[in-house]
Amino acid sequence: MNQDVHLVLSGRWLISMDGSAAQEEKGISVAIAGNRIAEIGPNLAAKYPQAEQLACPHGLIMPGLINSHTHAAMSCFRGLADDLPLMDWLTQHIFPREAQLTKEIVYHSTLLSICEMIRSGTTSFNDMYLFTQEAARAAVDAGMRAWIGEAFFDFPSPNYGALENGFAYVEELFTRYEHSDLVTITVTPHAVYTCSPALLERAAVLAEQKNALLHIHLAETKGEVSGCLERYGCTPVWHLEQLGLLNERVVAAHCVMLDEEEIELLARRNVKVAHCPESNMKLASGIAPVQQMLNHGVTVGIGTDGSASNNDVDMFSEMSTAAKLHKVRDLDPTSMRAEAALHAATLGGAALLGAETEIGSLAVGKKADIIMLDMNQPHLTPVYNPVSHLVYAAKGSDVLHSVINGRVVMRNRRLTTLDEGAILAEMRRIGEAVWRMG
């Protein structure tokens, strides 16, 4: 394997997320063969002179960030409707325009988010949206790792129309991407307030048949909880429990409105939680009890949600917000420590996706999803604790190089797999069309 090394990244610091402390030495390197890490050690550039060399004297090498919950194509709605409650935002502004979406809009809008994600250090994302064949196509074209799911609703979808067509569409997605190196298909009922019990149960059966994740919005707002209590006599979490749907396949996005008993239940059922602090703040949904979830052993990842409610997909910003927000919520400066936030954005996100043996940390044999930051910046100098800097000081724009599945997708801040200028030009045109949809 080592003779096939085609790429070596060399820097000053290495954070592997394997439980060991940050390594610091000039020339610390990661060698890549194919799509996997072949060797980690000092001065590997000299050992593999035939390989492409990506070196930075003040570079910090780390696993790529994992965006645990997003709607990538909603970048086309960025800034369209702000400062509104969630249900007003959805029903008055987003749903009417989503009804007019096309597959071309979804494809280009997903590419726009992927540009932003790569440029800010994300190497994997977990997406729930519409026309997801186009989102998957965008991920493959960009060389981006993605978990992709088509949203199910009780009402007709702008993509597939009647629900029966939706299940056929998702079956086709599973077949098409069964052997993909980059795209994994998920089952994604939208939420308990948009999906009947019968639909939720059918989606869960499909997830079990396909050995797939079941990705759903859960307990996001007080309104969702009160509506579920009125309709079913229980909270959203207990509604899923009574339907027998809470298990290790479930990725529950948001989970803002939880009590202690529900946290214990999620931990017992091994449900994974995608925490989206900035979206929850902007929509005034509340603050998820994340430290309490971690204390009970719940696997937590960090997500940005979509750009229409955030308004970006920058995971460094999201990670920093998460670490600080919970200190305020709990009035405890030790809540959501920097190490915990970084873990949630890397190996925790990988565990949420069931991929912790492949991505989320740097180790020989794991997939080569790696980023390098240039720490030679005023806001990152001096460096006493690299992890602290990554969470509290670093920005997405500090990412210098990005590698996904062993392929360089950004070199010296220039995207290598996408024509960023062309994407921006196309999205300006699409933005004019979206505005006229109102």
50-87: pLDDT as tens digits: 999 999 999 999 999 999 999 999 999 999 888 888 78
DSSP assignment of 149-180, as one string? Answer: EEEE-SSPBTTTBSHHHHHHHHHHHHHHTTT-
The C-alpha atoms of residue 349 and residue 6 are separated, in whole angstroms, by 28
Of 76-85, 194-203, 314-323, 389-398, least confident by mean pLDDT is: 76-85
- Answer yes or no: do 287 and 232 share one domain: yes
The C-alpha atoms of residue 303 and residue 291 are separated, in whole angstroms, by 16
- Answer yes or no: do 377 and 291 share one domain: no
Q: Which of 215, 98, 76, 77 is nearest to 146 (CA)?
A: 215
- Answer yes or no: do 379 and 311 share one domain: no
421 in a structural domain: no
What CATH number is associated with residue 305?
Answer: 3.20.20.140
- Answer yes or no: do 97 and 9 share one domain: no
Q: Average of pLDDT values for 179-208?
A: 98
pLDDT in tens, 272-311: 999 999 999 999 999 999 999 999 999 999 999 999 999 9
Q: Which amino acid is residue 329, in one-letter code?
A: R
At residue 88, the pLDDT reads 87
- Answer yes or no: do 371 and 246 share one domain: no
- Answer yes or no: do 38 and 70 share one domain: no
Note the Cα 388 to chain centre separation in Å. 21
- Count of domains in the chain? 2
434 in a structural domain: no
- Answer yes or no: do 17 and 117 share one domain: no
423 in a structural domain: no
358 in a structural domain: no
- Answer yes or no: do 308 and 401 share one domain: no
- Answer yes or no: do 162 and 187 share one domain: yes
Q: Which of 336, 319, 318 is nearest to 327 (CA)?
A: 336
- Answer yes or no: do 69 and 59 share one domain: no
Query: What per-residue string of b and e applies to 102-115 under the rule 16 or more CB within 10 Å gives b?
Result: ebebbbbbbbbbbb
More confident residue, 88 or 395: 395
Catalogue the E-assigned strands of 155-278. Answer: 183-185, 188-189, 214-218, 250-254, 272-275
393 in a structural domain: yes
At residue 86, the pLDDT reads 76
Q: Average of pLDDT values for 396-409?
A: 98
At residue 95, the pLDDT reads 86
The C-alpha atoms of residue 237 and residue 235 are separated, in whole angstroms, by 6
Structure confidence at residue 2 as a pLDDT band (50, 70, 90): low
Structure confidence at residue 22 as a pLDDT band (50, 70, 90): confident
Count other C-beta atoms under 10 Å from residue 231's C-beta. Answer: 12
Who's near 413: CB < 8 A, 6+ residues apart? 119, 399, 400
The C-alpha atoms of residue 88 and residue 65 are separated, in whole angstroms, by 32
Count other C-beta atoms under 10 Å from residue 437's C-beta. Answer: 15
Share above pLDDT 90 across residues of the chain, in percent, rounded to a whole number: 92
Q: Average of pLDDT values for 403-426?
A: 98
Q: Average of pLDDT values for 394-404?
A: 98
Q: Which amino acid is residue 120, in one-letter code?
A: S
425 in a structural domain: no
What CATH number is associated with residue 379?
Answer: 2.30.40.10
pLDDT in tens, 315-342: 999 999 999 999 999 999 999 999 999 9
The C-alpha atoms of residue 200 and residue 197 are separated, in whole angstroms, by 5
- Answer yes or no: do 75 and 167 share one domain: yes
438 in a structural domain: no
pLDDT in tens, 145-163: 999 999 999 999 999 999 9
Residue 320 Cα distances to 100, 152, 292, 340, 405, angstroms: 35, 32, 18, 11, 26
- φ/ψ of residue 396, rounded to 5: -55, -30
At residue 356, the pLDDT reads 98
Peptide bond connecting 311 to the previous residue in cis, omega within 30 degrees of 0: yes
- Answer yes or no: do 23 and 76 share one domain: no
Q: Which of 365, 359, 347 is nearest to 404 (CA)?
A: 359
At residue 3, the pLDDT reads 65
Parent domain of 271:
65-352
User: How does the average pLDDT of the chain come out, rounded?
Assistant: 96
pLDDT in tens, 241-279: 999 999 999 999 999 999 999 999 999 999 999 999 999
Q: Average of pLDDT values for 85-104?
A: 89
436 in a structural domain: no
pLDDT at 1 over 60: no
